[in-house]
Amino acid sequence: MITVLPAEAQSDNQQAGMRFGYTFGLYYQVTSPAGNSEVGALMMASFRNGGFQATGLRITYEYALGSLSPDFKLIWGYGGHVGFMFTDNISSMGENFNFPEDRFLPLIGADGYAAIEYTIPPIPLTLTLSYKPFVEMVTPAFFRFIPYDFGFSVAYLF
């Protein structure tokens, strides 16, 4: 006798939205259940200093606030970004550098991520307060640490 068991698909949670803050942009996020939490990826196209940055983060959702409300989640993660900026001044290691005109400056960096998210139960909408500090190397030879990248996001959950 042959027995066929139904396959159980892992359900992915996806959201797309906009982040407002020092790093402003559009993002897409996907997570999947993993034990007592969810893991996933957050990809963001952001705009700052007249340029463009593409960010990729590995994120983990924790249900530590479940006793407060099952609609609150803590998120943490890490990743990196690449891109460029157009500017006539830049701060690096506590010093300001001014150029006579805007310059194209490629950059690469590493990001941290921490957030608290609330899902509004009757509608598929999430509100997120996030903290995304980063370090970056801006060519030709500028090193920047930005510890104040706080943001607010609104996203559609699907």
> pTM for this structure?
0.84
Cα–Cα–Cα angle for 26, 31, 34, rounded to 5 degrees: 160
Report mean pLDDT in 10-residue bins for the chain, 158 residues.
Answer: 45 88 95 86 93 96 76 94 92 83 94 95 93 94 91 95
3-state SS of the chain: helix, strand, coil percent to 5?
A: 0, 70, 30
- The per-residue pLDDT for 107 is 96
- The per-residue pLDDT for 4 is 45
- The per-residue pLDDT for 39 is 93
